[in-house]
Amino acid sequence: MRPLMLHGHERPITQIKYNREGDLLFSSAKDHVPNVWYSLNGERLGSLHGHQGAVWCLDVNWESTHLMTGAADNSLKIWDISTGQVIGSITTVSTVRTCVFSFSADLAAFSTDTQRKQTCHINVIDCRITDSFGSEPILSLPVPDSKVTALQWGPIDEKIVTGHENGRLCQWEVRMGKLLTEVEGHQGNINDMQMSRDGLMFVTASSDHTAKLFDFESLLHLKTYTTERPVNSAAISPILDHVVLGGGQDAAIVTTTSSRVGKFDSRFFHLIFEEEFARVKGHFGPINSLAFHPDGKSYATGGEDGYVRLQSFDQSYFEFNFDY
């Protein structure tokens, strides 16, 4: 494979996401400008200027008309993807750490940080009435014990699952604003959560060196994928029983060790047998976010080195049969 390197950011990538058809790729980084790319040839459609802080999270709606970004400048912005203009902006009390559209994109959920003596809140907003003056959240749930670091919506806009800094997973009922289930998912910070294509399972990536597969409805722990480094992101292949894990050494200690032991590869595990079967090298720093193309024939990684790499699989990947 010959990857495409997308060099639109000057700082570490925080999150990347494809839209539903997979023709667009969105990337956010600690520099203040998220980018929009055509995934086929790596052409940049544009950059979104408006934030004044590191952009931590982004999400795109089902129709690929709106993009939502949350940043460290205490704001959540909704953009028109076709023009790159801000449609809606919400000012928060602290950094927006996660933001996700519900399936219909009528609702969106975001979580705020615990910095400056603020408690972490999960907020749900109605995107239809959100304009540049903002809107009051229709639901705001305080999370006093451990802040939310990953968030996902359930299939029919009813439930939210949150991953926390202490490794717990919580499932919330949106209409009643009630905590339904809580499980001890991981021993460390949950860095990322990504749904399977059918929305029945999700995979979590944690600093405790593992990624785990959970059932969405019951939060039942199904599988564990173990590595020797913190896992920053994990994604499930939409077409095959594969999971790809990205991570690596903590960015803070990379400079004190040789690059050989860095382990910045993306690692492919079999979904069911929990066994690693392939690796792809590329980044010079830890992978912070990765995403599968919705057609399953390519995937993208965003690293601490500021590059987004688009890798399309060779024939050998599809011909590979897992021995069991």
Partner 1 sequence: MPAIEDTKISSWADEVDETSEDLPPPSEVIDNGLKIVTVYRRNEDGKKEKLICTYKTEKRVVSKTVAFRKTWKKYGASANDKPGPNPATTIAAEETFMQFITSKEDHDKPDDDLLEKLRGMADKTVKCRTCNGDHWTLKCPFKDTGYMPTKVNVPPALDDKKNLMPMDDKNKPSKYIPPYMRDGAKGRGDAMGHRGQRDDSCAIRLSNLSESTQEVDLEELVRPFGDYSKLFLAKDKNTGACKGFAYIHFKHKLSAANAIAFLDGHGYDHLILAAEWSKPQVQQH
Binding site for partner 1 (CB under 8 A): 1-8, 21, 23-24, 33, 35, 38, 40-49, 63-64, 82-84, 228, 258, 261, 263, 268, 275-282, 309, 311, 313-314, 316-317, 319-320, 323
CB of 312 to partner 1, least distance (A): 11
Which of 80, 182 has the CB closer to partner 1? Answer: 80
CB of 26 to partner 1, least distance (A): 13
CB 17 within 8 A of CB 291: yes
Q: In angstroms, what is the minimal distance from the CB of 12 to partner 1?
A: 17
Q: Which is nearer to partner 1, 94 or 207 (CB)?
A: 207
- Give the integer Cα–Cα distance in Å for 209 and 186: 10
Smaller CB separation from partner 1, 48 or 124: 48
256: three-class secondary structure by DSSP: helix
Cβ nearer to partner 1, comparing 103 with 277: 277
CA distance 143 to 19: 30
C-beta closer to partner 1: residue 67 or 190: 67
Q: Which two tokens stand for residue 208?
A: 């405790």
DSSP 145: S
- Phi (first) and psi of residue 225, to 5 degrees: -115, 115
Smallest separation (angstroms) from partner 1 to the CB of 35: 8
Residues paired with 181 in a beta bridge: 171
What's the min distance (Å) between Cβ of 232 and partner 1?
Answer: 17
Separation CA 116–CA 146 (nearest Å):
15
Q: Which is closer to partner 1, CB of 3 or CB of 137?
A: 3
Q: Give the Å distances, CA to CA, from 52 to 12, 209, 285.
A: 16, 33, 25
Backbone phi, psi, residue 139, to 5°: -150, 135
Q: What is the DSSP letter of 261?
A: G
- Least Å distance, CB 54 to partner 1, is 18
Tokens of 209: 């060196």
Residue 193 or 243: which CB sits closer to partner 1? 243
* Single-letter residue type at 310: L
CB of 7 to partner 1, least distance (A): 5
Q: Taking Cα atoms as reference points, which of 152, 141, 145 lies closest to residue 168?
A: 145
Sheet holding 120-126, edge to edge: 96-101, 107-112, 120-126, 139-143
